[in-house]
Amino acid sequence: MKNLIAGIFAIFALFALTFSPVHAAGVVSAPCNQAALQSALSGGGDVTFNCGTATITLTSPLTITQTTTIDGGGQITLSGGGTTRMIEHTAGTLTLENITLTNGRAQGVNTDANGSAIRSRYQGTAPTLNLNNVTISSNTTNLTSFSGGGISAYDFGGAVFTQGGYLTVTDSTFSSNTSTNSAGAAIHGLRSDIIISNTTFTNNVSDGGGQGGAIYVDGAQPNNGVVRITGGSFSGNTAFNQGGALYVHLYQNNDAVTIDGVSFFNNSVNGGTNGLGGAFSGGNGRVTVRNSLFSGNAVDRPGTADGSGGAFASAETAVITIANSTFTGNRAEGISFNANGGAIYIVNNSQQFQIINSTIAGNFAGWVGGGISSSANGRLINTIVANNTADNGPNTWDIQQQCSAQLVNGGGNIQYPPKNPNPNFFNETICASNITIANPLLSALGNNGGATQTMAIPANSPAVDAGNQSYCTASPVSDLDQRGYFRTFDGDGDGAFTCDIGAFEFSSFNITSAPNVQPRINAYTTATPTLRWESLAWAMNYEIQIDNTAGFNAPLAFTGMTVSTLVNVPTLTNGVYYWRVRGLPTTGAPGAWSGTETFAVNVP
């Protein structure tokens, strides 16, 4: 019996040892210094602060080897004092929230120059690093030398360095970080999956041997690896070689980088031996850009070397799709034959790339392809290529202003102006076979709703209702424009519901109805639109019907009466609706129903 009881106690002890929860590490209180913080971290779990607004200056890295959450409450700054990295993370899940990391430094030979703020690296297990509402600013890596043997300067750098792990960044800010003689001043990823959302990257610099002014990625996790950036912006970032904002090199065909709803402003590549991609450079695997803006980005290598791809460049094999995106004001500077693709530069690619429902306008190249420079191995669909320019170096040829090669026409494309009619230039070309030559009447870049700026088109633009509808409804366009607004409208009032060409979908916002008006479709960006109509002298009330079918078959989405000539509709879900109104006299039969109109509720 004693042995049985002892055995039972042993089992309970083992159960308690194995399944006991991780206890909170505690609260850091005065004195709020490195010793107090490292002590709180020793047990793992949750660490919070009772320090008020405080800066804790570190003289050596904090070591994290087990699952830990550090929440600064929006009041705590960790500083490396310009001499040390702040966090060394080698195991478990580390989550940082509501905290600032600044003035970290990682300097020296090889891996000593990785992660000036945080170094998260594989040491037998894959580490997970989560950053939520974190500010990473003014951190510096300085690679003094490297050992060679297949290693290059591109293997080092980053305020945040992740190796063989998983990094998630949400609602955070990276600014004024520097990687000297190395790559990726804000984030440096080595065979890690990286997911970033609603985060800003501003004025980060990767100089010397650098690639990726803000972010450098050398491979994701093996097999179906993911690099995904959603929302947020990159502005004023600079690299020395490739990818003024972002450089991503993948290894497997099933690995993917996705950029969705991101704004790239005024990023640049200056100097170096490659000179590619003022905002983005990279390839291999699958590369998808959608719902994004590239404006004012530039690539330039001073002298005669020059650079290509003012906004986007890929000189590697990849499956590339660009959809619902705007490229404007980007520049591939220079006077040599290397200054190509003011907006987009795609070469060395055996896979056919696709550009769908995009607007490529007002970009510049020093040689050819003010809009697009590529091989002919590409497909253009529902895209505007307009008012791009190319200097042709010191020559006066005036050719290949819009595109350097004729692409496959997938339907619904516009080019303006046409190619140079001079027959002496055999290599002058249009952007796609049988492309429509017409002025799309683009407006200047502006805030037209949605998360990113767009170039609007007016009602009389030839791009209105001229798209290839099958591509508009299919992925990756999915019946939405760059702003996230519905695409399928009858913009020209001919009764046919067809999408527009380009990244912006035109629609009228003035909904007015009266007897015998002609049907048309309009858009609302609120779930509670206001409908208006003309008054009738004899009507004492008005009856309104709203339905999601033209037959107004019960049950109706909304029905009601009002004495005014407007109604504030109760909350509706996203979709296309039909509506009509009729007058009701004091006595007698109702008046005739008005003509049927349509509107779309579209809340991104």
CB 299 within 8 A of CB 244: yes
Nearest by Cα to 244 from 274, 271, 268, 262 = 268
**Per-residue pLDDT, 590:** 87
Top-level CATH class of 25-218? mainly beta
Terminal Cα-to-Cα distance of the chain (whole angstroms):
69
Fold of 512-601: Immunoglobulin-like (2.60.40)
What residues does CATH 2.60.40.10 cover in the chain?
A: 512-601
CB 90 within 8 A of CB 64: yes
Angle at 261 between CA 255 and CA 266, to 5 degrees: 100
**Per-residue pLDDT, 482:** 96
Nearest by Cα to 372 from 321, 309, 454, 427 = 309
Nearest by Cα to 247 from 292, 289, 221, 278 = 278
Q: Report how far apart, in Å, the C-alpha atoms of 375 and of each of 341, 367, 453 are.
A: 11, 15, 29
**Per-residue pLDDT, 149:** 61
Q: Which two tokens stand for residue 542?
A: 């008005």
* Residue given tokens 């690099």 in the structure block: 227
pLDDT-flagged residues of the chain (< 50): 1-24, 509-519
Q: Which two tokens stand for residue 507?
A: 């629609």
Cα(4)–Cα(11) distance, integer angstroms: 11
Q: Which two tokens stand for residue 75?
A: 């009041």
Nearest by Cα to 279 from 319, 209, 327, 349 = 327
CB 574 within 8 A of CB 601: yes
SS3 367: coil
- Burial (CB < 10 A; 0-12, 13-18, 19+), residue 593, is middle
This prediction's pTM: 0.84
**Element (DSSP H or E) covering residue 56:** strand 54-57
Segment 126-160, tens digit of pLDDT:
999 999 999 999 999 998 887 766 566 678 889 99
What residues does CATH 2.160.20 cover in the chain?
A: 25-218
**Per-residue pLDDT, 304:** 62
Cα(97)–Cα(16) distance, integer angstroms: 30
